[in-house]
Amino acid sequence: MASTPLVADEARVASAAYGARSRATRRRSGVRRRPVGAGGLRSLAISTISVLAGLGLWALIYQLNVVADYSLPSPWSVAHEWWLLARKGVIWHHIWATLREAFLGFLLALVASSVLAYPLAKSRVFASVLSPYIAATQAMPMLALAPLLVVWFGLGLASHVLICAVIVFFPMLVNTAVGIADVDRTLVEAAATEGAGRWTTLIHIELPLALRTILAGVRMGATLSLTGAIVAEFVAASEGLGYLMEFARGQYDAPLLFAAALTMVLVAVIAYVVIGLLEYVLIDWE
């Protein structure tokens, strides 16, 4: 039976009612997520104190000469190196190169996982056919697979994007498929009884209810995409933070190596926080 606007409205109402019941359950159980505000500022303060404590420990280890200078430079020498790179514009060029590879790889993995997750969650036959290939991509270490991709697709952007996509694809696919499979079947069956087609059910019931699990995979993918870009640049590159780290390692330049590595960490943290804010806006905003 074809779906009608009335059925779509009923599906939206059912999804909203389910979401309202979920929020009420979280409030009664005491696990309701805190909105951005005092709780967010408190978490930010704790994180800031933790980072400062880590920097203090780093400086103390350096002052006590526990580790050689060429292995662990001082925090101030790393900060000075980063400032020189920023002032010359070098660091921004390499950040942009890594972000471009990571974003395109993330986007490719997002599209592929979105297309495959629904049939994977709904069809045992499709899951049986696809599972060996998914397992193969995860069983082979990326450091072994990356050179093959470089040989097949060249030293340019394409191979780097594919390496990122392979690394990001699996967690996003699994989270999306699990989220859709775990949707309350009574809601799906009720929508089908009322005449809602698969597309209407997917858009108005399954996706909204699976959104938290899907976004958890997206958040993981956003950070892993940067890891993929760095791995690709380790294999073969002429720009990017991974290339900068490899160059610093070859020159035994510890401050430069740490400056590039910490920049990568900072970019990954920012990506993680942005996806977290997106999750709050789409799900927990009340």
Q: Residue 285: what pLDDT?
A: 57
**What are the sequence ranges of the domains in the chain?**
5-32+67-284
Q: Which two tokens stand for residue 116?
A: 């495959």
Q: Residue 108: what pLDDT?
A: 93
CA distance 215 to 194: 29
In this predicted model, what pLDDT tens digit does every residue of 20-33 receive, in sequence order?
444 444 444 444 44
In this predicted model, what pLDDT tens digit does every residue of 210-265 receive, in sequence order?
888 888 888 888 888 888 888 888 887 788 898 899 898 888 888 999 999 999 88
Comparing CA positions, the residue from 75, 205, 231 lying closest to residue 142 is: 231
The torsion region of residue 37 among left (phi > 0), alpha (psi -120 to 50) and beta comes to: left
Q: Residue 100: what pLDDT?
A: 92
Q: Pick the residue with more confidence: 83 or 209?
A: 83
Chain Cα centroid distance, residue 142: 17
CA distance 30 to 28: 6
CA distance 232 to 142: 9
Q: Residue 17: what pLDDT?
A: 45
DSSP character string of 136-171:
HHHHS-HHHHHHHHHHHH-SSHHHHHHHHHHHHHHH
Q: Which residues contact 212 (CB under 8 A, 6 or more apart)?
A: 179, 279, 283
Task: Tell me if the pTM is above 0.75.
Answer: no
Q: Which residues contact 102 (CB under 8 A, 6 or more apart)?
A: 164, 225, 226, 228, 229
Q: Pick the residue with more confidence: 11 or 109?
A: 109
In this predicted model, what pLDDT tens digit does every residue of 117-129 receive, in sequence order?
888 887 788 878 8
> What CATH superfamily classification does 5-32+67-284 receive?
MetI-like (1.10.3720.10)
- Quick check: 260 and 92 in contact, CB under 8 A? no
